[in-house]
Structure 1
């Protein structure tokens, strides 16, 4: 579904990504893990067309999308839920969700609203509430729900657990698992190594713009190098 080869990208004179290779297959949850500043968000932005690609290829459904405009990438069904939620705080919950179908799946808006409310019942209780008054966990649900409104074929989630309490983190990961169980492919970009590896099928570890470890999530969780670097074991 997604095949990234030799990807290089950065900002100004600084090169952040130094030859990234990764794949996401249909139906998978693939985790991309690393510390703050490792290059995870730059990777998401490059795949989504927000920043220019300096080298390598990005193929989605066997079509090269490197250099494509973000709107064109969205129209193909590759949807990126950015770090920090980026909701519209002065708009209602329902208005935020409707914005998610602005560029794609507009004809199915009513059906997709029902689907989002079934997935996130708390949002259904707050349709007229200003999004900025929601709790952090509810805002993250709204950001993911807005992404689902576009009928994604691949959903990139950038740090969905950031700033949430441990209880809400558990709930958020469970929701991601349920979304994937319905057939949606997910690229989960996170600092939360333990829970991401428990949820994902496969994973990549990124450091200083390069992939340093990759493989089945269960195998990586048992890898001594990863345990030492990230878990302090």
Structure 2
């Protein structure tokens, strides 16, 4: 579904990605792991069309999208839930969700709202509240719900557990696993190594703009050398 090949990208003269290659298959949950500054968000933003890469290929459903506008990429069904939630604080939960279908799936807006509140029952309780009054965990649910409103074929989740309490982290990973069980392809970009590997099919480890390790998630979890050298476990 998504194939990134030898991607090189950065900002101005600063090079951040130095030839990144990875794949996400249909219905897969693939994790990209790495510390702050590894280049994970730069990769996300190039895949999503927010920035244009220096070189390399990004193919979605066999179609080249490197350098395409973010609106075209959204129209194709590749949706990113960005790091930091970025909900609209002075709009209600409902209004935030409705904005998620602005470019895609607008005719199915009412049906998709029902699907989102079934997936995240807490949002139904907060439907008329301003997003800025929600807790951190509720805002993250809202951000993911807003992404689901566009009927994604591939959902990119950038650090969804960031800033959440341990209890909410557990809940968030359970919700991500639920989305995957519904057949949605998910590209999970995270620093939370253990829980990401527990739910992922495959995983990549990024360091300094390079993929240094890749493989089945269960193999990475059980490889003692990788646990020590790359995962800090």
TM-score, normalised to structure 2's length?
0.98
Q: The residue matched to 1:53 in structure 2 has which SS?
A: coil
Q: The residue matched to 2:226 in structure 1 has which SS?
A: helix
CA distance in 1 between counterparts of 2:122 and 2:61 reads 34
Given that 2:8 and 2:53 are in contact with CA atoms closer than 8 Å, whether structure 1 keeps it comes out as yes
CA distance in 1 between counterparts of 2:99 and 2:160 reads 20
Consecutive unaligned residues in structure 1, runs of 5 or more: none
CA distance in 2 between counterparts of 1:173 and 1:52 reads 31
Q: Which residue of 2 aligns with 1:174?
A: 174
Q: Which residue of 2 aligns with 1:46?
A: 46
Give the C-alpha shift of residue 165 in structure 1.
Answer: 0.4
Given that 2:205 and 2:230 are in contact with CA atoms closer than 8 Å, whether structure 1 keeps it comes out as no
Give the C-alpha shift of residue 231 in structure 1.
Answer: 4.9
Equivalences, count: 233
Give the C-alpha shift of residue 189 in structure 1.
Answer: 0.1
Q: Which residue of 2 aligns with 1:3?
A: 3
Q: Which residue of 2 aligns with 1:222?
A: 222
- 1:106-145 correspondence runs (5 A): 106-145=106-145
**RMSD (CA atoms):** 0.8
CA distance in 1 between counterparts of 2:230 and 2:167 reads 21
Q: The residue matched to 2:186 in structure 1 has which SS?
A: strand
Q: Which residue of 2 aligns with 1:21?
A: 21
Q: Which residue of 2 aligns with 1:191?
A: 191
Q: The residue matched to 1:30 in structure 2 has which SS?
A: strand
Give the C-alpha shift of residue 224 in structure 1.
Answer: 2.5
CA distance in 2 between counterparts of 1:209 and 1:228 reads 20
Given that 1:193 and 1:230 are in contact with CA atoms closer than 8 Å, whether structure 2 keeps it comes out as no
CA distance in 1 between counterparts of 2:78 and 2:232 reads 35
Q: Which residue of 1 aligns with 2:86?
A: 86
Q: Which residue of 2 aligns with 1:164?
A: 164
Q: Which residue of 2 aligns with 1:102?
A: 102
Give the C-alpha shift of residue 225 in structure 1.
Answer: 3.2
Given that 2:100 and 2:150 are in contact with CA atoms closer than 8 Å, whether structure 1 keeps it comes out as yes
TM-score, normalised to structure 1's length?
0.98
CA distance in 1 between counterparts of 2:232 and 2:74 reads 39
**Residues 116-154 of structure 1, C-alpha deviations (whole Å, 9 max, x = no match):** 000000000111100000000000000000000000000
Q: Which residue of 2 aligns with 1:70?
A: 70
CA distance in 2 between counterparts of 1:196 and 1:205 reads 12
Q: Which residue of 1 aligns with 2:58?
A: 58
Consecutive unaligned residues in structure 2, runs of 5 or more: none
